[in-house]
Structure 1
Amino acid sequence: MHKLYCVSWQSYRFFVESAAVLLIIVVSVVSGCSIQLSPAYDQATLTSISDLNVKTETLLASLSHGGTAGDFSKHKATYDQLIGGFSAARVATASRDVPAPSQRLLGIAHLNGVCGNEPSNCVNPTPHHLDKVIALLSAMRNTHQQGELVSELVTGFNGQGGFKGQYEIEMSRILVFETALQR
């Protein structure tokens, strides 16, 4: 007895697209050819982001016991420098060229589930994570200015979470990706 299988056009298309991507990867590996899928490495970008990271960790350490509206003015210039620096890094990393093979892969509709609403996040995730860092530092600055920056908001509870914990999650993702571009 024969079984009848019903395959939708979308399933067939997904299979063909997936097989094509797999074939490209296999051929590249076997032939020793390298295909660049992410933007080119830029030492200046990594250095700038690393410097901003040190300054941010220093700010977080200095505010580990919290901050008041009265001492906000002492930290305002640092907040401005960090938010401005990360914003400049975001513009620079968002304007990097995405290699042609990545552009073709990004056209595959099924990658949207993996990459979120913006498929370029898969091949150039740094701008997305810098957006989160900028939002986080802006929220911390605003909370500090209002005099509501208690130590638990900065360091979290039992050293978990808080502005520092969330910042370090985003920054580690940025540094891992930017360092990986060096290879």
Structure 2
Amino acid sequence: MKPAVQLLWWMRLYLLGLCISLSGCATQLAPAYDKTVVDGLAAVNTDTMILLASISNGTDKSSFPSRLDNYNSLIGRLDALSLQAGARPMPKNKVTDTINQLLDKRGSPAMSGDDSTPPSAYAIKKVSETLGKMRDVDRLQGVTAYEAQAFKGQAVIYLDQAITYENFLQR
């Protein structure tokens, strides 16, 4: 009878150890959701669309000074958001593949797959670069309606990627 009690005691100890070791196994699939990034992204998205709508018929370089502060504010806010989104640790996983499938279903281009940077940080940086190029063109010669449409198209693609990714993290 003693060996049966001893075996039962060892089995309980083994199960307890197994439970403790498994409870410590939490696989993180993506960076943590950050409401401040989402809120900042929503605000900068609205302001970017307002700027793009205001130049949709084209601009003249002589009126550029009236838009300069708006450009600089948006670019600075986007750079800050990119830094904030990128500061979260990025675990190795297949989340980017899942998000790219969601984007593909919606007809949007896939995000690039840099495993060390959250895809939203990359996309936000690309929006900033797009607005920087648009600002430089506007300063030098003004922006034609076709150029405004092209800049908007590129900005919308990257904003869509960033918003999709950040909303996906909220789940």
TM over 0.5: yes
Corresponding position: 1:63 with 2:59 = no
Matched with 1:178 is 166
Assess, with a 3 A threshold, how the Cα gap between structure 1 residues 115 and 172 changes in structure 2: closer, same or farther: closer
Matched with 2:156 is 168
Aligned-partner residue type, residue 182 of structure 1: Q
CA contact (8 A) 2:120 2:165 kept: yes
TM-score, normalising length from structure 2?
0.71
Q: Alpha-carbon deviation of 1:35?
A: 3.0
| CA deviation map 1:2-54 (0-9, x unaligned) | xxxxxxxxxxxxxxxxxxxxxxxxxxxxxxx9732111111111000110000
Corresponding position: 1:135 with 2:123 = no
Q: Tell me, what secondary structure is at the counterpart of 1:167?
A: helix
CA contact (8 A) 1:68 1:146 kept: no
Matched with 1:85 is 77
TM-score, normalising length from structure 1?
0.66
Equivalent residues, number? 130
Aligned-partner residue type, residue 86 of structure 1: L
| CA deviation map 1:32-87 (0-9, x unaligned) | x9732111111111000110000000000000011111111111010000000000
CA contact (8 A) 1:66 1:154 kept: yes
Structure 1 runs, 4 residues or longer, greater than 4 Å off:
none
CA distance in 2: counterparts of 1:46 and 1:115, whole angstroms: 20
CA distance in 2: counterparts of 1:98 and 1:165, whole angstroms: 28
Assess, with a 3 A threshold, how the Cα gap between structure 1 residues 43 and 139 changes in structure 2: closer, same or farther: same
CA distance in 2: counterparts of 1:115 and 1:73, whole angstroms: 35
CA distance in 2: counterparts of 1:46 and 1:140, whole angstroms: 24
CA distance in 1: counterparts of 2:74 and 2:56, whole angstroms: 17
CA contact (8 A) 2:78 2:128 kept: yes
Equivalent of residue 46 in structure 1, options 17, 34, 38: 38
Give the % identical residues: 31
Aligned-partner residue type, residue 176 of structure 1: T
> Over aligned residue pairs, what C-alpha RMSD do you find?
1.9
Q: Tell me, what secondary structure is at the counterpart of 2:61?
A: coil
| CA deviation map 1:83-105 (0-9, x unaligned) | 00000001111111234xx28xx
Equivalent of residue 120 in structure 1, options 116, 120, 123: 116
Gaps (5+ residues) in structure 2? 1-24, 94-110
CA distance in 2: counterparts of 1:96 and 1:34, whole angstroms: 17
Aligned-partner residue type, residue 134 of structure 1: S
Q: Tell me, what secondary structure is at the counterpart of 2:62?
A: coil
Q: Alpha-carbon deviation of 1:119?
A: 2.3
CA distance in 2: counterparts of 1:175 and 1:115, whole angstroms: 15
